[in-house]
Structure 1
Amino acid sequence: MINISRPRRSVLYMPGANTRALEKARTLAADSLILDLEDAVAPDAKVMARQNILQALEIGFGHREATVRINGLNTPWGMDDLKAFANSKADAIVLPKVESAQQIQTVAKLLKESQARPDLTIWAMIETPKAIFQLTEIANSHPLLEALVLGTSDLVKDLHARHTPNRVETQTALSLSVLAARAFGLCVLDGVHLSLDDEKGLQQSCVQGRDMGFDGKTLIHPSQIAAANAVFGPSADEVAEANERITAYEQAIASGAGIAVLNGKLIEELHIQEAKRILALAKAIHSFANPPSSNQ
């Protein structure tokens, strides 16, 4: 089962070469951060960006989850990235362009050899056609794998497709990724919305991703955080209904019935499981918004 105690409604990419952006991240309402060494960093800035992120992790990001997207192990920087962050304060290693279970297993083996913390997990970027056809093997590759992260921009490029408002070009890949994640108990994060001046499109993309089953959305700008948090978190009405369903079901069971009826709808055990998930997520979000310390 995925970790409901950690909300991942909004997962913001932050370029490792930009120290001001890394500092600003400590003040943002994003649930999680992907501190990026790959696409957002020019080749001649890779080493500097690595040091920037290492230093930023030492200071910390408060209650925000901080992950690091390293360069691929087949690049000049990937192995050094992995070694550098194996014993850092990162929460997870984000591996780009995963296309096989072996890639995850290799990273897990290298982390073990580096005596990395046992709670340092791996997130797999799913962003190529080959990855889609290997989803079952990737999702079931290693116990350290915690999340699938959709890289829809690269996927659209490889498909020779075009970005459309309803994302018809990636819907098959999105659905298959959610299915693989749920089959093996992983978190799954939707791809980014590229237009920064398209609030309506961002909202539509968030709602679509939520309705498809994604746990949250990856973002490219702080201005997108509020929309993702609102859509991927349960509303007050959803929380109230979840509580009502549980109460009605418990009363029905106590009376000897196997099902309950609430507002004209049948309530069965499967509805109770979903209600409990919603309440657990709401509790986690409340804890996230009200951390025990005053640190940013």
Structure 2
Amino acid sequence: MREIVELLKKAGINDVKENEPLSKHTTMKIGGPAEVFVEPQDADELQEILRILHQEKMPWRVIGRGSNLLVLDEGIKGVVIKLGKGMDHLEQTGTEVTVGGGFPIIKLATVLSREGLSGLEFAGGIPGSVGGAVYMNAGAHGSDMSKILKKARIVFNDGSSEWLTNEEMEFSYRTSVLQLTRPGICVEAVLSLSEGDKEQVTAEMQKHKDYRRDTQPWNYPCAGSIFRNPLPNHAGKLVEDAGLKGHQIGGAQVSDLHGNFIVNTGDATAKDVLDLIAYIQRTILEAYSVKMETEVEIIGETR
């Protein structure tokens, strides 16, 4: 990996670390080391990084704010790219907003509500970045990113870049084309919003933020919703009905506040979380004949 580090630095990529603990970069505070960890300063630098990695046939992963993510205890081989500073620009022209993939989605919802722009109220309280929200078509309260995205700038594995329209993103429930047939990184998004009453928009956004604060355990390290809702059922309700709230394996515990959250009580390992997920899946399948599929993205090396 030393050769990759030297190639990146030679290309002017300065923010490069080796064996960086990913527990420092995930909201669950869990995860082994990344062999190489790099934080590009802008989209051009990201493209250069990917061109080098593609040329060297080096595997890589991208993360944003580290929510909706469980990194395994053995860490990640290859390169982990973090989108953050330098990818958090914001421009507004009327009801159209252009925003960097590293911009926090909850901060964006707050900023736009103060401008009286409607369409992103559902994101009040959603952790993570704009790029991650586009990648997984994040949503809540009956809406999601597919309702407001006009187009997204995607950087692909070989470092090439292309704008994809809403239709080309092939959005469906918590999924986009970036997870399926065209892996890539959303570095910029253009959102089409509508004018609304500033007080009403702000109140609606705050209501969703307050609801999440009151019903979800953000006072503990967690990754957000663990399971997709097995429609027409709701994952949290099934877990609660099965009497699993508070069930704990090692340092991982089903939240007492919300059945679809697993919290790190302080010393949880990824194995603890995986064992608890498997226990929940078996219990729900036996009790209700419902298969629970994870929404949280699980990445990293296995022994």
What is the TM-score with the length of structure 1 in the denominator?
0.31
More helix by share: 1
User: Higher strand proportion, which one?
Assistant: 2
